[in-house]
Amino acid sequence: MKQARPLIVRALSNETVERPPVWFMRQAGRYLPEYRALRAEHSFLTMCHSPELAAEVTLQPLRRYPFDAGIVFSDILLPLECMGAELEYVPGTGPIIRNPVRTAADVAALKPFDPLRDLPSPMETIRICTQEADVPILGFAGAPFTMACYMIDGQGSRNWPETKRMMFGQPKVFQALLDRLADAVGDHLQAQVDAGAVGVQLFDTWAGALSPDDFRRWALPASRRALARVSGAPRMFFTKDSAPFLPWLKALEADAYALDWRVDIGAARKLLGDVAVQGNMDPMALHAPHDEIRRRVRKIIAAAGPKGHIFNLGHGLTPDIDPQAVGVAVDEVCGWSWS
Ligand code: CP3
């Protein structure tokens, strides 16, 4: 039965709810044997670009667990391909861009991104899943700074040396790239809302690599620009290692802030003000004994309070996590009652 105003929408709207809604970042993925079985037959990109397959993967965790939302199966880097990046997913290495952006000419040569024309599969996947699932579906995109990191360095990195070389050495070129990406990902989020996503999350996974000054100078205004293009559904903002940035996050004007596990969620709420929060269990805590998982879930819920909290992990589920442990955590959240 579909609810008129789903729990997740009420919590994202910062309302007081009977228990926190729960979904997990990377809830569709390699920790699930049914994902690995499908993945053995198709490449990751094929799965992302085939709405029927992407819908199947989106629905897999929803069949196993009583999650309060699905997240569309896709990847943050797909719009970069549409803009001209030669993107590959190399097993063991992760995503690689063979033609990284390094100069003003490279930025000028990027193609405009029109989500409906260039990348229709996430929207079609959202439509299918909205029909088939009992719970609402969330959309997402990568934040401009995090997208720029992959575009410039060309692959995952701890320090993002090429990105920072451009940021410090060619600030105008870097700004032009962020502006292009902000508009692209903002439009991508809006297209997903228009397709039926009840909320959208912007992932600024690597903004934690910035000093607080550089975060405020570069990543924050770029994400604000992206989020400002989106209306009609709550907008969540996620960044890892965000503790030093908490006093400034409000300026993003997001509807909810997703926190990693390095902050106390109650203390973070005091710094953020009266806004919804999401999080923030250490994904590796799912390796703890089951009673310890349950204890940690309860501690986070109690610290966050009854108003506007969405239970989630502080980062995505990883392939090493036991599907049974995921069930234990979700069960504990669903058993909570504030009344
Ligand atoms: O959350 C979900 O279940 C929805 C799908 C989703 C994926 N990636 C699927 C995926 C989402 C929301 C993402 C976001 C994403 N992708 C981020 C931001 C969030 C985060 O986790 O930090 C980033 C940085 C990426 C880029 C990316 N995609 C990397 C670094 C990798 C390789 C590393 C890895 O985890 O495998 C991917 C590939 C990827 N994206 C996989 C999945 C299920 C694995 C692909 C496979 O099956 O081989």
Per-residue buried b or exposed e for 208-242, using 16+ beta carbons within 10 Å of the residue's own CB: bbbeeebbeebbbbbbbbbbebbeebbbbbbbbbb
- Cβ of residue 150 lying under 6 Å from some atom of ligand 1: no
- To the nearest 10°, the Cα dihedral for 37, 41, 46, 50? -70
Reply yes or no on whether 75 is catalytic. yes
Ligand 1 centroid–CA 73 distance in Å is 9
Q: Residue 239: how many CA atoms within 13 Å on its side-chain side?
A: 26
**Pairing verdict, β 70-71 and 137-142:** parallel
Q: How far apart are CA 297 and CA 332, in angstroms?
A: 7
> In this predicted structure, what is the pLDDT of residue 1?
53
Ligand 1 centroid–CA 123 distance in Å is 18
Q: What CATH fold (topology level) applies to the domain 7-334?
A: TIM Barrel (3.20.20)
- Cβ of residue 203 lying under 6 Å from some atom of ligand 1: yes
Q: How far apart are CA 283 and CA 10, in angstroms?
A: 25
Reply yes or no on whether 150 is catalytic. yes
- Cβ of residue 29 lying under 6 Å from some atom of ligand 1: yes
- Report residue 310: phi and psi, to 5°: -110, 120
Q: What sign does the dihedral 47-51-57-58 (CA atoms) show?
A: positive
Which one, of 15, 56, 14, 16, lies nearest residue 35 by Cα?
56
Ligand 1 centroid–CA 88 distance in Å is 13
> In this predicted structure, what is the pLDDT of residue 79?
98
Strands (DSSP E) along 55-154, which ranges? 70-71, 87-90, 94-97, 137-142
Determine whether 245 is exposed, middle or buried from the number of CB atoms within 10 Å of its CB (0-12, 13-18, 19+): buried
Helix (H) or strand (E) holding 63: helix 51-64
- Report residue 21: phi and psi, to 5°: -65, 160
- Cβ of residue 245 lying under 6 Å from some atom of ligand 1: no
Per the structure block, which two tokens stand in for 140?
């997402």
Ligand 1 centroid–CA 161 distance in Å is 22
Beta carbons of 92 and 108 less than 8 angstroms apart: no
Which 3 state secondary structure label does DSSP give 165? helix
Mean pLDDT split into 10-residue runs, the chain, 339 residues: 84 98 97 98 97 98 98 98 97 95 98 98 98 98 98 97 98 98 98 98 97 97 98 97 94 98 96 97 98 98 98 98 98 97
- Cβ of residue 192 lying under 6 Å from some atom of ligand 1: no
Reply yes or no on whether 127 is catalytic. no
Which 3 state secondary structure label does DSSP give 337? coil
Which one, of 92, 133, 63, lies nearest residue 326 by Cα?
63
User: Would you tell me how many other CB atoms lie within 10 Å of the CB of residue 201?
Assistant: 24
